[in-house]
Structure 1
Amino acid sequence: MVFSVRHSRLLLASAGIALIAGQAQAQMQTPGTAPAQGPDAPRTTAPAADPQGDAPIVPDAEFDKALPPLSGDLDAPLEPMPADTKAPATTAPATTPAADAAAQQPITPGTLPPPPAVDPALAQPLEPLSTFNTEPLRSVADVKDEDAPDIRYTNEVRGLDPLGLTDEFNSLSALREGKGKADNATQVAARGREDEQLAVRLMKSLGYYDATAISTVETLSGSEQKIKAIVSATPGQQYKLGTITVKADPTTPPDLVRRELPLRTGDPIEALRVQGAEANVSLKLPQQGYPFVKVGERDILLDEQTARGDYTLPVDTGPRSSFGVLRTEGEPVFDLKHLNVFPRFDEGELYDNRKADDLREALVATGLFNGVGVQPVRTGTILPDGTEQVDLIIRQSRGPAKSLSGGAGFQTGQGVTVEGTFTNRNRFPPEGALILGAIAGTQQQGLSATFRRQNAGKRDRTVTLVASALRANYDAFEAFTGTLSGRISYDSTPIWQKKFTYAYGFELVGTNESVFDFAENDRVRRTYGVLALPGQVQFDTSDNLLNPTRGYRLKLSLSPETSVQGAVRPYGRSLIEGTAYYPVSDSLVIAGRVRAGSIFGIARDDIAPSRRYYGGGGGSVRGYGFQRLGPLEPESSLVPGDEDRDEVKDLRPIGGRSLNEFSIEARYRFGNFGIVPFIDGGNTYESTLPNGSDLRFGAGIGGRFYTNFGPMRVDVATPLNPRPGDAKVALYISIGQAF
């Protein structure tokens, strides 16, 4: 049928062309008879009448019969249209001179019809505006204090529970976000359409690429304004990985990229799984010598018949590289000599971006930079092992070097302590800090000045010189002490926690203290001079400096000392301590501590009281006052009638030459908070070695608030076998775990 209509149109067009051509030929054969046209043409003849103007319209049947027969052959040539010899010649109509002259005459007044009569209502004056209601229409958004014309709805999602997507859908749902209220049903339907798309996106993220969803709105019976919006999800089939192809240059080892892309044939094509696998390539290759790796755009070709997707990933690995030298640009906080103290890698070592990140973190930890960046750059130098040398550019931006800090704490028996510190971290470059400190408390007051150089010739090695003056007034002693000390230490830091650390140094101490004189049966003041060479080593396998949850620590301290008080008396101080941490679960850690100390080579009464061993307090046996455990003054020292000291509780500790302590805690954490029940035990003794007798126990419970710089601790404890005069309850507030 289409082809026949096409032929008909061609034949009709041919006939039209033939007719026009015939008319043109007739006019050319009769020159001078064609009517003139245009504005200058003479208008002397009357218009000729149309001979067919009154003829009836040819019926369709007669018109169709006059058409030539059509052929169904598309390739047949077009037949010529026969000329119509009976058609009369057409001429253009002509106008008469009379009609033309009449058209040029001006309008004569009175010849037009009269205008219509004016409506009397239009002649009346307008009504004043005050008679009209000028209050504008209000929309739903204009209603503030009145009940808005809204509707209530409930919503439900179906089909996502088996996929485990209901919770995620509800957290992102537009219907849920509307909280069951809308202006009208159209708004509810629009939110439903948004949730349709959300449901499809979530299902596709799990590999259901044929997923569909539809939302419907139902009116609940019994309520005209209560409707229910339902989103029904249909996941369809889940697509899984087919062939996995990685397009990358050769690597060392050869399967490096594929090994670090943890995808397997048959795995569901889940968005998070695929993105995580590609991120793993970007993470692991720079750790194995490829710092310039770039992961391209993945291509997954899905097959509906097999529900498989062939996965292709282009990876530009870049050259296999080794560490070169450091360069620097920007504001020079450190020169290259000091910068080369920080790296934990050697030149020529296979590149590992973890070590480059460690370098940047160590620079940040100095606190002297406003911003610092470490970026690898290619050099084009090929080393003998085939790797390319990569230099590290360190971009420095100077930051403020001065800071103020402070802290406060409270312990029963020690009172309130407030400390403040002013630090200029780069007063003596590089990293030579000047620290001025002050301490003010109910039982101690003092000032100190400290010079500290960090990363002194070696990363995390610190040289410290301290000059201080302190007044301490405790139950055990009252002392005015001046100290000059120096220390070299190799310490752990939050960036690099080391298994083995050490410290050694010297102390020059001059102190005037109150001491109990057994010969006089009373306290007297004596002045001591002490020279000490303290040293310490520690082995640490714990997982965190401030809040360990697994591992153990062993620490040994040894200090040869000489006490000068009338005579020179050399002696030694030793202390050994071990702590262990065992995670029972993710939220519960059992922590334990044991400690033992000994002073040998000198009588107790020849040792300055401030350098003896004491027990009790927040870092010792909780439940007992600070330094309250151990030998006390004899009761004979009490003077009858002395209103200030006529009770046993006023017997003051005099310290000992040895101690032993242990503690066990159950650290239960929930979120940023924790509860810690604990039990402590221990004592101090006059003997050189602890004998384990007369142990005193304390128990209690603590609260923890965990911050990014460590836990804040509040412990409440009570002595289980108190002596006369021991308090019933002790409170400790500080920062950090007890051990």
Structure 2
Amino acid sequence: MPKSKVKRRHGSMRGVIGAGFLSLALCAVQSRAQEAPGSPPADPDALEAGTLPVPPLPPGANLPAVDPVIPDSEFNAAIPPLDANDDAELDRPLESITDFERRLAADQAGVAPTEGQAAPLGDPALADGDATEEVGDAPVRDAELTAPLPSIDQFEVAPVQFAEDASDEQKDAEVAYRTQIDGLDLADKETDAGLKSQFNSLSALKSGDGKAANVAMVSARLNEDSELVRNVLASEGWFDPVVRARIDRSAVADGPPLTAVIAVTPGKRYALAGIVVQADPTDPPGLIADNLALKVGEPIVAPRIQGAEAQVALALPQNGYPFAEVGQRDILLDRDTGGGVYTLPVTVGPKARYGGFETEGNLAFDARHVAVLARFDRGELYDSREIDDLRKALVATGLFSTISVEPRRTGQPAGDGTEYVTVHVNQNAGPPRTIAGSAGYAAGQGFTLEGTWTHRNMFPPEGALIAHGIAGTQEQGAGVTFRRSNAGRRDRTFEVVAEALHSNYDAYSAYTGRLAARISRDSTPIWQKRWTYAYGVQLLGTAEKDYDFTRAARNRRTFYIGGLTGQLGYDRTDDLLDPTRGFRLTALVEPEGSLGDGFNPYVRARIDASGYYPVGDSLVLAGRVRFGTIQGASRFDIAPSRRFYSGGGGSVRGFGYQKLGPLDPNGDPIGGRSLNEAAAEVRYRFGNFGVVGFVDAGQSYAATMPRFTDLRYGVGIGGRFYTNFGPLRVDVATPIDRRPGEARFNLYVSIGQAF
């Protein structure tokens, strides 16, 4: 740059600096005057003359000498002096725009314009001789602005062209990609597999199935998965991973044009360097530490920590601390050592024992019956598992739409540093009435329709009235049942049944009235019990047709039967309606006496056993056996409906109902005094459907003990549709070594497995 230009710039800048310095000096003086309230105002003349007094320096101040940036002489010389004429000029009003324009034109043309003269140089302010600026004063170059708008009919309007359907183009615009994860291979193969499994199950790229609408969508999924990788690694103890993501556009042979790449450097894996539990003492002392399954030195794995805390939250209420709360954990990480100090606050609360019961809400029954359902007594140590058990028992009654059970503090001491808690039950009774129905079909038995109407709490607590009816091809009837569940004791049921039936089978035809009472402990879908029992009494009056060999004809006879019944069961299966493992045993004994042609006492007995063995997740092998005997009376003295028969859907499939056993001269069954049966099934399930292959065998005999001779076999295949109330069953079977009069195929439709 030429030196002269540098100097000129320096000179002009100096003027600016000087003016700015002056302004700053004036501001500083004014601010000092404002900051010193009570001091006299500055003298204007002194201010103008530059003789403003300088405040004294503080004692001991030693300020260095500073040369002025601009000497006073040079600064004063640059400022023009002001005289009286200048003061008069400053006091004059500003000139008008017209005068200013004329003066400016005179300066440019060298001649002063006169009044009314055209504006020189096309100046718009003087074009019309008016000092006021208007649109018409614009120069010629802006004439378009003042021109009138053309009429509407002069506009040329082109029709709008609508775009054609671009669905095919968008479809063609889809991009394909593949996903590549680098650096996620760890030395620990189990952890490595777990990380990859978590990523694959949650990945946006994976869920996209290698297709996206455009590259931007691939990029968005890539960013989302990058954050997912960080979260997955953090859940396993890698808190400082380096994750880089990119889209690789280099095409792979026989592959998609894009590759979404996530490069991972896991970094250091953090481990527990210390475990601190902040809690009051417990009884026993190691209750929290023994259940907090964490060890110093193991990796900081989120699922393990959450599981350990959940175990503590369970263990404390199970051991007498109903009000214990696990607080928010804190983990202090040390990046230098790779360790983390884990701190867990726990509020233990008081140790408690059971006190009484209280209930509120829309009640189905009172607190006294709640106590019947509980498996604990007053004074026992609190255990949350028993509270859960009580809640399930309340749900199993079927009387509530909602139910809750919770402990409440009483503040009453119970000794040994404990206090009583009240078990509070909040009830909301549901609709007590239900209507249910079922239908089935079996070869030799025909169609069967059954319906029930139930009021589950007509006689509180849990006193149900049940009306039931059956309308079938070969059986019709109706009856009424009173049932009280949890009768004075948990899981005990008392019921009285009165019914009338008409049966018309090939084996017999009967009109029967029955009155029975029974006390039982049975399994339910919610409460499957290991031990079950039933005992009771029954009275029957029945008029039945039976073949009389002495008369060579069927005659109707009347029997009056009274007897006792006792049943004992043992169940080790995993499901009541659809077992897949375990076994069951059931024994039934019924001492009876028949009044027909005299009094004839006898005993009916039967034993059933079944077992289930799983082979993999979808295949189950199942088998059953049954033995029965009647001791103490001849067959003729036993009512036909009380004899043993084989054949049918619940017995030996492939044969008609009651078709196996002794026959009369007409080929109709007459029943026997013993039986034996066996069955084997292979059950394969896929989703909500299943296929079953089976072989059944059995026979009934005139003798009192089964002879295991002349066994008949049936084979078949079945289909299953699994529902939440049990499987629907359809079986088709055929007899082996079929005899004259036996059907080639037999069909059975019902609810539940065959056994």
Give your verdict on TM over 0.5: yes
2:66 to 77, 81, 102: 81
| 1:213 maps to amino acid | V
Unaligned 5+ segments in structure 2 are: 1-16, 34-39, 51-60, 100-114, 120-124, 128-136, 187-191
* Structure-1 separation of matches of 2:27 and 2:356: 95
Residue pair 2:177, 2:256 contacting (<8 A) in 1 also: no
Separation in 2, partners of 1:225, 1:593: 58
Of the three residues 674, 695, 706, the one matched with 1:658 is 674
**1:600 Cα deviation (Å)?**
1.6
Q: Does 1:103 align with 2:94?
A: yes
Percent identity of equivalent pairs: 49
Kindly state the Cα deviation for residue 406 of structure 1 after the two structures are TM-superposed.
Answer: 0.8
Cα distance in 2 for partners of 1:32, 1:572 equals 136
User: Per-residue displacement from partner, 1:153-204 (whole Å, max 9, x unpaired)?
Assistant: 3031313465233443343333345555555433432332222111211121
What's the CA shift for 1:344? 1.0
CA shift in 2, pair 1:572/1:104, >3 Å: same
Is the 2:534–2:568 Cα contact (8 Å) retained in structure 1? yes
Q: Secondary structure at the match of 2:469?
A: strand
Distance 1:19 1:443 in 2: 118
* Cα distance between partner residues in 2 of 1:689 and 1:225: 77
Read off the aligned partner of 1:394 and give its amino acid letter. V
The answer for the alignment partner of 1:131 in structure 2 is 156
| Alpha carbons of structure 1 residues 311 and 489: separation in structure 2 relative to 1, 3 Å | same
Return 237-246 or 145-154, whichever deviates more.
145-154
Unaligned runs of 5+ in 1: 1-8, 36-75, 638-650
Residue 698, structure 1, aligned to residue 723, structure 2: no
Residue 120 of structure 1 deviates from its aligned partner by 5.2
Corresponding position of 1:69:
none
Aligned residue runs from structure 1 range 31-42, under 5 A: none
1:228–1:135 distance in 2 versus 1, CA, 3 Å: farther
Tell me which of 206, 210, 216 is aligned to 2:240.
210
Deviation at 1:407, TM superposition (A): 0.8
Which structure has the highest helix share of the two?
2
1:113 equivalenced with 2:113 (yes/no): no
Q: Are positions 1:194 and 2:224 aligned together? A: yes
Deviation at 1:631, TM superposition (A): 0.2
TM-score, normalised by the number of residues in structure 2: 0.81
Query: How far apart are the structure 2 equivalents of 1:145 and 1:32?
Result: 85
Distance in 1 of aligned mates of 2:569 and 2:619: 26
Deviation at 1:708, TM superposition (A): 2.6
Tell me the distance in 1 between the aligned counterparts of 2:248 and 2:528: 63
Distance 1:551 1:193 in 2: 51
Taking the TM superposition and a 5 Å limit, the aligned residue runs for 1:196-595 are 196-221=226-251, 226-595=257-626
Within the alignment, does 1:168 sit opposite 2:198 as a pair?
A: yes
Distance 2:234 2:584 in 1: 50
Contact 1:193 1:214 in 2 (8 A): no
Figure out how many residues of one structure are paired with residues of the other and give that number: 670
Separation in 1, partners of 2:569, 2:270: 56
Q: Kindly tell me: are residues 153 and 476 of structure 1, through their superposed partners in 2, closer, same or farther at Cα, counting changes over 3 Å? A: same
Is the partner of 1:279 in helix, strand or coil? helix
Equivalent residue letter for 1:695: L
Give 2:694's match in structure 1, choosing from 648, 653, 678. 678
CA contact (8 A) 2:452 2:467 kept: yes
Instruction: Work out whether residues 241 and 309 of structure 1, in 8 Å CA contact, stay in contact via their aligned partners in 2.
Output: yes
Cα distance in 1 for partners of 2:455, 2:574 equals: 31
The one-letter code of the counterpart of 2:713 is F
Aligned partners of 1:405 and 1:421 also within 8 Å: yes
Distance 1:220 1:610, change over 3 A: same
Structure 1 residues 201 and 81, CA, compared in 2 at 3 Å: closer, same or farther?
Answer: same
TM-score (norm 1): 0.83
CA distance in structure 2 between the aligned counterparts of 1:184 and 1:126, rounded to whole angstroms? 48
- Aligned residue for 1:131, secondary structure, equals coil
Q: Is the 8 A contact 1:200 1:233 kept in 2?
A: no
How far 1:105 moved relative to its partner? 6.6
Amino acid of the structure 1 residue aligned with 2:179: E
Aligned match of 2:36 = none
User: For 2:648, what is the secondary structure of its paired residue?
Assistant: coil
Q: Is the 8 A contact 1:151 1:226 kept in 2?
A: no
Show the counterpart of 1:628.
659
1:114-166 Cα shifts (integer Å, max 9, x gaps)? 2323525833515559734574998x9x9567646844130313134652334
CA contact (8 A) 1:18 1:81 kept: no
- Which residue in the other structure is 1:720 paired with? 736
Give the equivalent residue in structure 2 for 1:157: 180
Letter of the aligned partner of 1:702 in structure 2? G
- Are 1:608 and 2:639 counterparts? yes
Pair 1:171–1:130, CA change in 2 (3 A) = farther
Q: 1:373 Cα deviation (Å)? A: 0.6
Query: 2:288 aligns to what SS in structure 1?
Result: helix
Distance in 1, Cα, partners of 2:45 & 2:318: 101
Preserved CA contact (<8 Å) 2:436 2:452: yes
SS in 2 for 1:616: coil
Q: 1:78 to 1:596 in 2, by over 3 A?
A: same
- For the structure 1 residues 317 and 714, does the alpha-carbon distance in structure 2 shift closer, same or farther, using more than 3 Å as the test? farther
1:552-575 Cα distance to aligned partner (Å, 9 max, x none): 332221112121223222222111
- From the superposition, tell whether residues 388 and 168 of structure 1 become closer, same or farther in structure 2 (CA, over 3 Å): same
CA-based RMSD of the aligned residues comes to 3.5
Q: Deviations over 1:201-243 (max 9, x none)?
A: 1121122212222221233459999433222233223223232
Instruction: Name the CA distance, whole Å, in 1 between partners of 2:418 and 2:336.
Output: 47
1:720 CA displacement: 2.5
How far off is 1:375 after superposition?
0.8
